[in-house]
A and B are shown apart, each in its own frame.
Chain A
Amino acid sequence: MNWLALRLLRPYLIVAAALSALSTAFVLAGARVIRQQAEAHGIVVAGYVPDRTGLCERGVSCLPAGTATSLAQAVVLVATFVPLLIGLILGVPLFAREREESTDAFVLTQSVPRMRWLFTKLLWALAAGAVCTAAVAVAFRLAAARYTLIVGEFGYSLLQVAHKHSIVFMVMQTVFITALAGIAGLAGGRTLRTLVMSVVAWPVALIVAQLGGLLLAGVTAVLVSWSDSLSMMVGTLDEDEVAAFAAVPLGMGTVVALLVGRGIVRRGTR
C-alpha cells in the first residue's frame, strides 16, 4: 500500500517539494537582502525586536523604504500562504481524484483492509506536507522573522491574523488543511468542489484556531498565576507560545477529520 500511496502522490509531492524549496530559497535570500539594506542604513534590527522598542512605531515600517520593506512583506506573504498551498496541493487530490475516477473501487476490493488504504495515504500526505512546510517555517523563523516583526504597512496587520511567527503553527496549518481537504474529497468525490470548500474553510479554521489558542493561553495564564509550581514549569507566555496554543485547535481539528474519514470508509465511500 505504501508503494501505491507514494506512486499516486508522486506528482503532488514533486509540486509541493518544489514550492517548498523555492519558498525556502526566497525566504533565505530575501532575509539576506533585508539584512544588508538594514545594515547599510545603520538600522540595528536586534534593537527593535521582539517588542518594537526604540523608534519603531506600530503601523510604521522600521525597515528602509523600497526593496527591504517590499521584500519583508513578500516574505510574510510566502510564510502566510505556503502552508495553505502545500496543504491544498497534497490534500485536495488525495482521495477526490480516486473517487472521481472510481479507482477507489479497485483498491478497496483488493485483499488489504480499507483502513490501511485511508491511513497510509493520509499519513504520507500529512508527513510530506509537514516536512515541506517545516522547511519554509524553519527558514522563516530563523532567518526572516526578525525583519518581518518590524515591517508595518497596511495589510500587514491583517496578515497577522492568518500568520504567526511560529514553526508549530505553520506546520499544523498544513497538516490540518491536508487532512480537511483529503476527507472532504473522500466524502464528496469531486476535486473542484473539494478545492473550493478547503479554501473557504481555511480562514474559518484560522479564526477558530486563534480563538481556541487565546482561550488555552488564557486558561494557562490563570493556572500559572495560581500555582507557583506551574509558573516555574511553564514560565511566562510570549507571542511564540500563544501561537503554539493556536496550533492545538488545528491539531484537534485534524484528529476530528481523521475520525470522520474512518467513519466514511466504514460506511462505504458511495
Chain B
Amino acid sequence: MPFERTEAALDVAGVGHSFGPRRALDDCSFVVPAGAVTALVGRNGAGKSTLLRAAAGLLRPDRGRVRVFGEVAGDASLPAIGYVGQHAPLYPMLTVAQTLALGGRLNPRWDAAYARRLADDAALPSGARVGTLAPGRRARLALVMALAKRPGLLLLDEPLAPLDPVARTEVTGALMAEVAGRGTTVVLSSHVVADIDGVCDRVVVLADGRVRLAADVDQALATHLVAVGAGSEVGALDGTAIVEARAVGRDATALVRSAEPVGSLAWHRPTLEELLLGYLRAPGPEPERKVTLA
C-alpha cells in the first residue's frame, strides 16, 4: 500500500489560526484513523474550510500542527491527499479532456483509466470547457480529479452542496466504492446533516473554531441520550452532563452525555441529527476574561 496504515491519516494537534482579529480555529485537536469516513460538521463560519485548508497544506496555522500520514501537511504530504475545495475550483478555460490530462502531468500516481471511467460515469463531455459546465458537473469533475490522484486521504469541502439529489446519491456511491475498494480515508465537511447520515463512521463537530465533539458515530450515539419532560425535572439533571437543553412551554428537551436513563423523564437514543444539532446549538465556553490590576 502506498500509505502507512498504522499512522493516523490526519492528526490535528492544538491548531489555532486567526484572520486578523477574527479567530477561525482555536486549539483544535482530533485524530482521523486511516480508512475512516469522517464528517466535519459545523455552522457557516465555524472553521471547517480553514481546517481542511490547513490539512491540505494550503494554510500554515498560527499554532499547532497538522500531520497527514505522519508528514507535516505541506509539500511532502501532497501526493497523499486529494482535495476538493468549495465551489470545486478548476481552470474554466480548459476542456474536460485537458483537465484530465493536466492531472496526469501534475501527479505521478495518476490513474488515467480510472479518471476516464469516472468521467464517463459522470457523463462529462470531453470537449466541453470546464467554465461551461453546470456547477454539479464541475463538482463531479473536481471529485474525479481528486480520486484519480489515488490519494490516501480525501479532503472534501462541502462536496455535495452544488449537486442535485440524484447526483448526490451517485457521488456518495462513488465515494463509498473508493473507500470500500481502496480503504481511502475521507474527511468531508458539511452543514447539512442529511448529507452525512449513513455515510460517515466518525464525526467532528466544530463551533466557533473549537472542536465540540470528535468521536465514532456509533459510540457517540451510544453514550448520549435525549431526555424529554417537565422543565423542572430536566433542570434537575446533572448540569455537567447536559450538552444542550431547550424549553418548549413547560416542557424541556435535553441532550445528555449518559449511557443509561435516570429518573422519571422520557428518554430515547438520539438520532445523528439530534446529536449533531445538540452540539451545534450548545453554548460555547465563556471566553477567558483577563483582569488587569490598576
Interchain CB contact under 8 A, B56 and A111: no
> Within the complex, what minimum Cβ distance (angstroms) separates B73 from chain A?
10
**Given that A1-B106, A102-B85 are contacting pairs, would A269 and B91 also be in contact in the complex, using a CB cutoff of 8 Å?**
no
* Also in contact, A101 and B92, with CB within 8 A (given A110-B149, A114-B75): yes
* B105 pairs with A105, CB closer than 8 A: no
Closest to A101 in B: B89
Residues 109-125 (chain A) with a chain B CB within 8 angstroms:
109-115
Query: Among the interface residues A103, A115, A268, which one has the most CB atoms of the partner chain B within 10 A?
Result: A268
Count residues of chain A with CB under 8 A from any CB of chain B: 24
Question: Residue-by-residue, is A242-270 near B (CB-CB < 8 Å gives 1, otherwise 0)?
Answer: 00000000000000000000000011111
The answer to whether the Cβ of A226 comes within 8 Å of any Cβ in the partner chain is no
Chain A positions within 8 Å of B160 at CB level: none
Query: A105–B79 contact, CB under 8 A?
Result: no
Which of A4, A102, A112, A266 contacts B78 (CB under 8 A)?
A112
- Interface digits, B93-110 against A, CB 8 Å rule (1 contact, 0 not)? 110001000110111110
Binding-face segment, B3-11, B57-65, B211-219, B245-253:
B57-65
CA distance A7 to B129 in the complex (A): 14
Chain A hits for B202, CB < 8 A: none
- Check if A268 sits within 8 Å of B53, measured CB to CB: yes
Is residue B279 within 8 Å, beta carbon to beta carbon, of the partner chain? no
Alpha-carbon distance between A224 and B120 when the two chains are bound, in angstroms: 73
Determine whether A8 belongs to the interface, using a CB cutoff of 8 Å to chain B.
Answer: yes
Q: Does B81 touch A at the CB level, under 8 Å?
A: yes
Count residues of chain B with CB under 8 A from any CB of chain A.
32
Please tell me if B116 contacts chain A, counting CB pairs below 8 Å.
Answer: no
Q: Is the interface of B mostly helix, strand, loop or mixed?
A: loop
Q: Does A108 have its Cβ within 8 Å of any Cβ on chain B? A: yes
Of the candidates B53, B87, B109, the one whose C-beta lies within 8 Å of that of A111 is B109
Question: B107: nearest residue on chain A (CB-CB)?
Answer: A111
State whether A106 and B89 are in contact (beta carbons under 8 Å apart), knowing that A111-B149, A114-B75, A269-B58 are contacts in the complex. Answer: yes
Q: Which of B75, B85, B102 contacts A4 (CB 8 A)?
A: B102
Q: Please tell me if A154 contacts chain B, counting CB pairs below 8 Å.
A: no
- Identity of the chain B residue whose Cβ is nearest the Cβ of A1 in the assembled complex: B106
Complex contacts, B108 vs chain A, CB 8 Å: 111
A78 is an interface residue with CB less than 8 A from chain B: no
- A residues within 8 A CB of B78? 109-113
B103 — which chain A residues lie within 8 A by C-beta?
110
A111-B108, A114-B75, A270-B58 are known contacts. Are A105 and B149 too (CB-CB below 8 A)? no
Q: B53: which A residues are within 8 A, CB to CB?
A: 105, 268, 270
What are 24 A-B residue pairs whose CB atoms fall within 8 Å in the complex?
A4-B105, A8-B91, A101-B89, A102-B85, A102-B89, A103-B90, A103-B91, A105-B83, A106-B90, A107-B106, A108-B56, A109-B57, A109-B78, A109-B81, A110-B103, A111-B79, A111-B106, A111-B149, A112-B106, A113-B75, A114-B57, A115-B75, A268-B58, A270-B59
Residues of B within 8 A of A (CB): 53, 56-60, 75, 78-79, 81-83, 85-87, 89-94, 98, 102-103, 105-109, 142, 145, 149
Q: What are the 4 closest A-B residue pairs judged by CB atoms, nearest first?
A: A110-B106, A268-B59, A109-B83, A102-B89
14 more contacts with CB within 8 A, not counting A4-B106, A102-B87, are A1-B106, A4-B102, A7-B93, A7-B94, A7-B98, A103-B89, A105-B56, A107-B106, A109-B56, A109-B81, A110-B107, A111-B78, A266-B60, A268-B58
